[in-house]
Amino acid sequence: MDRSTPTAILLVSCPDQSGLVSTISSFISDAQGNIVDLEQHVDSSQKAFFMRVEWQLDGFGIARDQIHQSLETLLKRFGMQWSLHFSDTLPQVAIFVTRDNHCLYDLLSRHHSGDLQMDIPLIISNRTDLEPVAQQFGIPFHHLPITADTKAAQEEKQIALLREHRIDTIVLARYMQILSANFVDHYPNQIINIHHSFLPAFPGARPYHSAHQRGVKIIGATGHYVTSDLDEGPIITQDVIHVSHRESVSDFIRKGKDLEKTVLSRAVWYHLQHRVLVHKNRSVVFA
């Protein structure tokens, strides 16, 4: 894909019906738009339609600030959920961490090298362990310790910070606190978590210990959106690695870190590229 010129990206999901592709593609081509990527998916068991289409803004016959309005007129009859994005508008991302540094380093180094296109206005943590890493990369670090008593109040502070910085995406990079349902409801399909197992195997705490105890021959990691059901949110991407009887729990943890950071960054990449749609707790990832 040539990413050098700005593009518009339209994501749609709706009940399946005839004429969806032709309506949208004609809208674009009638205005001299050049489609650089189009993927659609029909889930025939759910009678649901999903589409992602990306076209170049250069030469497109509708002004950038008019596209949303034009689409609204066009699409209202279909009962669609849809969103419009521009490739040159950077997502605003907050990273939540606790103590482990591998996912944070991975995200920040990819951000630094341009592989993850986003702004990171702040890092939030319930501990101070990773403040030096934030400082290494010059990103403001907010320490908001959490106890059972302070949780509600601290989450309010978190939300205030997120609003202040117009955050649209939250990445939990091994954040070891469970977000309340209230918090999660503010950011539907906008909070990405890495779980250190191949879900639904080994949900909850200490999955590597459980995996070792069970004697599995493969361990995994899962990048998913956070819902109020812990470890039950829509899966974005997963990966695995083989292990053997020779490997202890600490070996599982060491090898698992490779998976965790790679899988999390991949999930974030899909999200930032507006490639993920969610329907009934499952994701459509136009990879």
Measured from the CB atom, the residue of 23 and 154 that comes closer to its own copies is 23
Shortest gap between Cβ of 156 and its own copies (angstroms)?
32
Bridge-based pairing of strands 282-285 and 276-279 is antiparallel
Answer yes or no: are the C-beta atoms of 207 and 195 closer than 8 Å.
yes
- Cβ 160 to its own copies, closest distance in Å? 30
**Residues β-bridged to residue 277:** 284
The CB-of-41 to its own copies minimum distance in angstroms stands at: 6
Choose between 165 and 203: whose C-beta lies nearer to its own copies.
203
Active site residue 231: yes
Q: Which amino acid is at 226?
A: V
8 A C-beta contact, residue 173 and residue 213: no
**Least Cβ distance, residue 265 to its own copies (angstroms):** 8
Alpha-carbon dihedral 157, 163, 164, 167, rounded to 10 degrees? 120
**Alpha carbons 148 and 163: distance in angstroms, whole number:** 24
Interstrand relation of 92-97 and 169-172 (parallel, antiparallel or unpaired): parallel
96 vs 198, which CB is nearer to its own copies?
198
Q: Which of 119, 149, 185, 231 is catalytic?
A: 231
Residue nearer to its own copies on the CB measure, 60 or 187: 60
Please give the C-alpha separations between residue 40 and each of 22, 56, 236, 280, in angstroms, as whole numbers: 12, 18, 17, 17
Between 190 and 262, name the residue whose CB sits nearer to its own copies: 262
The partner residues of 225 in beta bridges, in order of sequence, read 192
**Distance, CA of 263 to CA of 196 (rounded, Å):** 10
State in angstroms the smallest separation of the CB of 184 from its own copies: 18
8 Å CB contact between 38 and 52: yes
**Which residues are known catalytic residues?**
231
